[in-house]
Amino acid sequence: MKPSHSFWHIFLVSSLFLVAILPVVSALELSGTKLSPIIYRSGATITNHYTISGTNAEVDVNLDPGPFQGITVTEVVDNEFDLIIYFSPEQYIAPGSYSFGLSVKEKPAAGAGAISSLVAVSKIFTVEVYSYDKEIDLSLDVPNINAGSPLSLQLTVISRGYPDINSVFGEITILNADAVPWGTIRTEEKFLPGLSAVTFTEVFDASSLVVGNYAAAATVFYDGQQESANTTFLIGNMDILVRNYTSTLPRGFADFNVVVVSNWGNVLRNVYAKLFIAGQELLQTPSLDLLPWQEAQLQGILKVDLVPGGYNGTLQLFFEGEHKDIPIIVTIIELPAAAPEVQQPASSTMVISIILIILLLAVVVLVYFLFHRRHEKNKGRSRSGGNDDF
């Protein structure tokens, strides 16, 4: 065997190891000038160029034209194509906000096994179609708040028509979970130029509202016409709720998990739990911070020496220097001795790995002997004055 063959084998074997170890990356890019929001003009044509990159896989380009009949894409050539937007005058589009989509997706490779994945990218285009009449869109934003905080209401009125609106104002009503009104706020009256927007910001005194779910309903009046919008929101308190916990524990070492959710609109720091069973403290979990309204899992490992059976316990939750006790019931069980495991033949991955390691070692030994032999041969040549043909 020549040395070059040995190196080739080392390379091959190493490559096989690399293929086995390195994760495979997939990526997809779609580049083009941003168009949104597109203002609809009947009869207009817009052409935009796009480039696909980042992938070696075959891709499909898909177009969802939405309500527009005149939108097409050209054939993909060298990973490039054009999007052609033609607003046909023969098609009536009612005033409003519309969208259409363009997406590029990797085609699945043959023989992809296990849990495989592909990537796709999409662009969503918005088209604004304005009216020659007075028309509006509404947006009502009410955030979740902590109990006792003022409630900030934002009502945005967007004119979708070319004519000016001489008078626009709104009324916002707060309702509880049973749809019973708690109060109404009336905004000031404003002039709204065509195709522009106005935002009314009002503060509602929510100090008397108890913790719970609420709704807000807005009606906007504009030059003799009206539109409505509504939304829901939550009034929370500095509290942590328990969603779930490990209710069965084996004797000996075991994991204990408790799923908690924050009912507070600010970050809750230093959140942890202590578990007491039969008066004994068995566990204190590591602490974490909870984002507003976030759900998370507290977990830890404990050792249980109690006799099997049902026990009343207490879960003590700590947060921001406060704590609360939650009564729980935990069942302690005795685990049966694990069934003796039948010796299984080594998995195919392990067998392949061992074969590759043996092959690699064999190649290294071969290379060593080859070089050693050549070295000895050269020494022999130099001893015999270089005339040895052997």
Q: Within positions 278 to 307, which residues make up the interface with other proteins, using CB under 8 A?
A: 291-297, 301
Q: What is the 3-state secondary structure (H, E, C) of 347-367?
A: CHHHHHHHHHHHHHHHHHHHH
Instruction: Kindly state whether residue 103 participates in binding other proteins, applying the rule CB under 8 A.
Output: yes
Instruction: Kindly state whether residue 126 participates in binding other proteins, applying the rule CB under 8 A.
Output: yes
Q: How far apart are CA 76 and CA 80, in angstroms?
A: 5
In this chain, which of 114, 178, 343, 386 binds other proteins, going by CB under 8 A? 114
* Nearer Cβ to other proteins (113/224): 113
* Nearer Cβ to other proteins (88/139): 139
In our burial notation (b when 16+ CB lie closer than 10 A, e otherwise), range 299-329 reads ebebebeeeeeebebebebbbbeeeeebebe
Interstrand relation of 197-204 and 225-236 (parallel, antiparallel or unpaired): unpaired
> By CB under 8 A, how many residues form the interface with other proteins?
75
Range in contact with other proteins (rule: CB under 8 A) among 13-21, 68-76, 164-172, 243-251: 243-251
Instruction: Kindly state whether residue 257 participates in binding other proteins, applying the rule CB under 8 A.
Output: yes
Q: Please, what is the minimum distance in Å from the beta carbon of residue 373 to other proteins?
A: 29
- The first and second tokens of residue 207, run together, are 């100090």
Amino acid identity for residue 19 in this structure:
V
Q: How far apart are CA 170 and CA 157, in angstroms?
A: 9
Residue 301 in contact with residue 284, Cβ under 8 Å?
Answer: no
In this chain, which of 63, 112, 267, 365 binds other proteins, going by CB under 8 A? 112
* Nearer Cβ to other proteins (22/94): 22
Q: Please, what is the minimum distance in Å from the beta carbon of residue 109 to other proteins?
A: 10
Instruction: Kindly state whether residue 227 participates in binding other proteins, applying the rule CB under 8 A.
Output: no
Instruction: Kindly state whether residue 386 participates in binding other proteins, applying the rule CB under 8 A.
Output: no
The distance from CA 76 to its chain's CA centroid, rounded to whole angstroms, is: 31
Residue 266 has what DSSP assignment?
S
Instruction: Kindly state whether residue 116 participates in binding other proteins, applying the rule CB under 8 A.
Output: yes
Instruction: Kindly state whether residue 124 participates in binding other proteins, applying the rule CB under 8 A.
Output: yes
Closest-CA residue to 222 (of 177, 263, 178, 163): 163
User: Residues in the chain, how many?
Assistant: 390
Instruction: Kindly state whether residue 74 participates in binding other proteins, applying the rule CB under 8 A.
Output: no
Restricted to residues 304-363, the positions that interact with other proteins (CB under 8 A) are 333, 335-336, 338-339, 341, 344, 347, 349
Q: Please, what is the minimum distance in Å from the beta carbon of residue 250 to other proteins?
A: 4
